[in-house]
Amino acid sequence: MGELVLAAKCTHVPTMLMSEQEGPIKGKRQPAIDGHREIARRAKALGADTVVICDTHWVVNAGYHINANHRFGGLFTSNEFPQLIQDMEYQYTGNPTLGDAIAKTATDKGVQTLSHQIDSLELEYGTLVPLRFMSREHQMNVVSIAGWCTVHSHEESRIVGEAIREAVEASDNKVLLVASGSLSHKIWPNKDYAANNGTFTISSEFNRQMDLHVLEMWQRGDHATFLKMLGDYAGFCCGEGSMHDTAMLYGALGWDSYDAECEVVTPYFPSSGTGQTNVIFPVI
């Protein structure tokens, strides 16, 4: 029998790559990089062989979609931020059996989900950035699930999360589940970015206060209350991908019955107007 051994909410800001390059951002994102590596170390210690990443940079407009190819490789340049991520090499092994099983389980539960093995279907950087740093500590097979869901409900994403857990437990795999996305996600308006040192600042004090409140709730295990406000939080604070990654995460963990105390492994930080962190969600 398989097992979901660890779960996490993770940042994927492109400046993590720039933090390792010469220039004004060098070293500035080291805590975020260290957080990814710590999560991978924990997953390795728990025997994880596969990471399932719910990626809020993969946008889909109908159905749910899983990139479950046998292998992934190539050069990635972000079409959103080509000045930040360009010609990033990557090479990973997939887990098509698990990806197919998640899709079938979700579809059987009433949420249409398709699993794909298409060589030209690239991974998005919400998957590639965490993998870049996590793989330094532990090489895992990869399954990527679209988490930027434009016409979907949090209830459907909850069911997809349940399907992830059920498919994992019916498999032979031990799995790390990652919700890859920010907290608040109101990027600075273009005209205001430079004047506000946008790379290192938050665009809304309201969003910052809400983010900090959410982190405090997670740390004390008050997930049931958080889920009552998830829709409003995602809406008012511009949650990345409408926070469908987070709904999938909670679906896999038991939704409002989940009460574990979370661990912040990267202190909260602003980036381009958004709120970012790395948080471990223990599996119970």
The pLDDT value given to residue 133: 98
Domain containing 31 — which CATH number?
3.40.830.10
Mean pLDDT of the chain: 97
Residues 20-47 pLDDT 10s = 999 999 999 999 999 999 999 999 999 9
Residues 103-140 pLDDT 10s = 999 999 999 999 999 999 999 999 999 999 999 999 99
The pLDDT value given to residue 195: 87
Residues 47-61 pLDDT 10s = 999 999 999 999 999
Nearest to 254 by CA among 216, 219, 281, 217: 281
The pLDDT value given to residue 258: 98
The pLDDT value given to residue 126: 98
The pLDDT value given to residue 198: 86
The pLDDT value given to residue 194: 87
The residue segments making up the domain with residue 7 are 3-281
The pTM score is 0.98
Does residue 259 carry a pLDDT above 90?
yes
The pLDDT value given to residue 46: 98
Task: Count how many domains the chain has.
Answer: 1
Residues 60-105 pLDDT 10s = 999 999 999 999 999 999 999 898 899 999 999 999 999 999 999 9
Task: List, as own/partner pairs, every contact residues 163-167 make where C-beta atoms lie below 8 angstroms and the sequence separation is at least 24, other chains included.
Answer: 163/102, 163/105, 163/106, 163/109, 163/111, 163/113, 163/251, 164/4, 164/52, 164/102, 164/248, 164/251, 164/252, 165/4, 165/251, 165/252, 165/253, 166/105, 167/98, 167/101, 167/102, 167/104, 167/105
